[in-house]
Amino acid sequence: MCGEDAFTGKSFEHRREWIRSRLEFLASVLGIDCLTYTVLSNHLHIVLRSRPDIVKTWSDEEVARRWLRLFPKRKNQDGTPAEPSKAEIDMIVNQPDVLAERRKRLSDVSWWMRCVSENIARRSNREDDCTGHFWEGRFKCQLLLDEASLLACSAYVDLNPVRAAIAETPEGSEFTGAKDRIDDLSCRGDRTRSSTHDWERSRCRNKSGWMSPIEIDERRDAVGPDPEPSGRRASRKGFLSISMLDYLQLLDWTGREIRAGKAGAIPAHLAPILSRIGLDPPAWCDLVKRFGRVYHRAAGTVEHLAEEATRRGNKWMCAPGNPLAIS
């Protein structure tokens, strides 16, 4: 898909940038936060957070305008969406049922994936001069029920190249959210935890500014939707109660332990992170390696999985070997 063709020797690595650019575009249009991502040669992982609360704050005209950026009636000479006309906007606004459906779709994860897959499939088929299905199957989606599963899944996604022996470190893992954040951070002098929190919420980041900040500080951050003024992403709301520096250092330590095949002593300042989710270092490293095999339709602690099963009308949810303790 995005690697080297074994028969012709032709490289399709440039398609990984196609996918990354498409994700960045969608983050600026949809009411969905991209928390992190990884694009490999034959598949991709994305951690998304639906934000219907953000979409509710948009006017009818804004909903129509954003929809027309996704599915433009006209395009510029360079192929980019043309600015929608008033008549095109009014055609959506003046149809309440259509408008309501468009508003709903703008925070629907399935529509995010559709907008990725269709765009990349068309471009790739055009490049290959062929037609037909480009993707092997439909995307798989897991619901993340708590911060423990969110932290583990984010690490699983960011460390995918390390686990696959494609890269040795997070900073060497191309086309990952972690790599983008590390690249931006390397250009910054002040790397204290407090200053990094404010910087993550600012609009000055280059490569990673379209993704959500790592840290959410309930004492300092705005209550409610907290929309992004620059328009590069839906909001400035973080998703973990740890700093970006601690997250990246946890990734670095975890990646080293996974490569070594065993979990040694964790740095003292990172140990409380694992303590909060009830895991010791070996259990944490094992979870990051096996996340995709442990969880299927939903991920979380035993307690939260039981609640989700009840909500769905089931007796239980499959999570073989779930190491997350009851919160």
Q: What is the DSSP string of 32-62?
A: EEEEEEEE-SS-EEEEEEE-HHHHHTS-HHH
More confident residue, 324 or 264: 324
Mean pLDDT across 2-6: 73
Confidence (pLDDT) at 277 = 84
Confidence (pLDDT) at 193 = 56
Tokens for 152, please give them. Answer: 């583990």
Band of the pLDDT at 8, cuts 50, 70, 90?
A: confident
What 3-state DSSP class applies to 280?
coil
DSSP state string for 89-146 = HHHHHT-HHHHHHHHHHTT-HHHHHHHHHHHHHHHHHHHHT--S--SSS-----EE-S
As a whole number of angstroms, the distance between CA 302 and CA 204 comes to 40
- Torsion on CA atoms 54, 55, 60, 62, rounded to nearest 10: 70
For CA atoms 127, 132, 137, 143, give the dihedral sign.
Answer: positive
Per the document, the length of the chain is 327
pLDDT in tens, 193-216: 555 777 676 655 688 999 999 998
As a whole number of angstroms, the distance between CA 72 and CA 82 comes to 7
More confident residue, 205 or 21: 21
Residue 189 clears pLDDT 80, i.e. is over it: no
Which residue in this structure is represented by tokens 């043309």?
A: 82
Tokens for 321, please give them. Answer: 């070997």
pLDDT in tens, 129-161: 787 777 777 788 999 999 999 999 999 999 999
- Quote the distance between the C-alpha of residue 265 and its chain's center: 29
Band of the pLDDT at 326, cuts 50, 70, 90?
A: very low
Confidence (pLDDT) at 195 = 59
What's the number of CA atoms in the CB half-sphere (13 Å) around residue 317?
A: 25
More confident residue, 266 or 284: 284
Mean pLDDT across 27-38: 98
Give me the amino acid identity at 177: G
Residue 7 clears pLDDT 60, i.e. is over it: yes
Gyration radius from the chain CA atoms: 21
Confidence (pLDDT) at 203 = 54
Nearest to 242 by CA among 233, 232, 250: 250
Q: 10 Å Cβ neighbour count for 40?
A: 19
User: For residue 144, what is the enclosing H or E element?
Assistant: strand 143-144
Q: 10 Å Cβ neighbour count for 54?
A: 23
> Residue 275 class from Cβ within 10 Å (0-12 exposed, 13-18 middle, 19+ buried)?
exposed
Mean pLDDT across 14-25: 95
For CA atoms 183, 184, 189, 191, give the dihedral sign.
Answer: negative
Which residue in this structure is represented by tokens 């328009």?
A: 231
Residue 5 clears pLDDT 90, i.e. is over it: no
Confidence (pLDDT) at 205 = 64
As a whole number of angstroms, the distance between CA 213 and CA 184 comes to 13
Confidence (pLDDT) at 81 = 87
Residue 19 clears pLDDT 70, i.e. is over it: yes
Confidence (pLDDT) at 327 = 44
Residue 27 clears pLDDT 90, i.e. is over it: yes
Band of the pLDDT at 289, cuts 50, 70, 90?
A: very high
Give me the amino acid identity at 257: E
Nearest to 49 by CA among 203, 180, 212: 212
As a whole number of angstroms, the distance between CA 212 and CA 111 comes to 19
Mean pLDDT across 65-70: 97
- Torsion on CA atoms 175, 181, 187, 191, rounded to nearest 10: -160
Tokens for 4, please give them. Answer: 């080297």
Comparing 72-81, 215-224, 299-308, which segment has the lowest mean pLDDT?
A: 215-224
Percentage of the chain exceeding pLDDT 70:
93
Could you tell me the CA-to-CA distances from 22 to 67, 117, 131 in Å, in that order? 15, 10, 21
Confidence (pLDDT) at 99 = 98
Q: Which residues share a beta bridge with 298?
A: 143
